[in-house]
Homo-oligomer: A and B are copies of this chain.
Amino acid sequence: MRRSKDDRALLEGPHLVAEALAAGIALEEVLVAPEFLAGRSEDDALRRGLAALPEPPLEVAAGLLDELGDADSPRGLLAVARLPRPGVEGLPRRPDGVYLFLERIQDPGNLGAIARAAEAAGAAGLALSPETAHPNHPRALRGSAGSLLRLPVAVGVDPDSLDRHLTAGRDGLEVHWTALLPRGGTSLWRAALEGTLVLAVGSEGQGLSAGILRRAGLGITIPLAPPVESLNAAVAAALVLFEIRRRADGPAPPRRLGG
């Protein structure tokens, strides 16, 4: 099936379709297998939601759904959604917001996993460099478990425009560009991570470009036990985002009292 490269996205399986309905995203086509319509009671609410659509879902054989989908098994339900992706203007300006700038993250599954962790950690949005995977790629959407349907995501972003966008109308605001480095940066546990922050994450193979490294006022590194030299980009991004979240959440843990 043609990959969605524009403003349409293929949503595969009951989970993603339910998340799209809950997020108020317009579904343009819904294909459903008889097995899904007669299926598990936990899908009742979703079936009612589909029945209430302006256009009723189209019933097709499960085997045809498998052919149309990208997943191993779309579990009886596929939908095409209108999901336009704006440029940098699509990002909210949030005081002390944490933004991710993803540079050349080409694996859609990795993009999805990063989006999921970013939403879970309360990030303000994702800015994707031109060479990064498209957020409407079916594998990105599945890997995000719905986060790419909700989190603000801007595509084709260059760093200057992101800076201009975040500081527009906010005199004196400084954007803290922070580069996630496999080695040589300040330890994540000791790094200052405050204010309006853009965390730049590159691909495991290529790392960040020289332009981003020059722009970053701070490079941070996750301390790793040798001989491990790097982490998967999604795990690394999640560790930084949740470290920021942890500091915002409050005090140090108590000592264990007994067993």
Contact = CB atoms under 8 A, between A and B. Distances in A.
Nearest to A243: B246
B255 A192 contact: yes
A172 B169 CA distance: 64
B191 A225 contact: no
A247 B254 CA distance: 12
Interface stretch (A49-57, A88-96, A119-127, A132-140): A119-127
Interface in A179-238: 187-195, 217, 222-225, 227-228, 230-232, 234-235, 238
Contacts of A189: 246, 249-250, 253
A117 interface: yes
Interface residues of A, number: 50
A257 B120 CA distance: 29
A127 B231 CA distance: 21
Contacts of A234: 232, 235
Contacts of A217: 259
A176 interface: yes
A35 to B, nearest CB: 19
B235 A222 contact: no
Given A224-B120, A225-B119, A235 B176 contact: no
Interface of A: 22, 113, 116-117, 119-122, 145, 147, 150, 174, 176, 187-195, 217, 222-225, 227-228, 230-232, 234-235, 238-239, 242-243, 245-247, 249-250, 252-257, 259
Given A119-B228, A235-B235, 9 more contacts: A113-B232, A119-B225, A145-B228, A145-B230, A150-B227, A176-B259, A192-B257, A232-B234, A239-B242
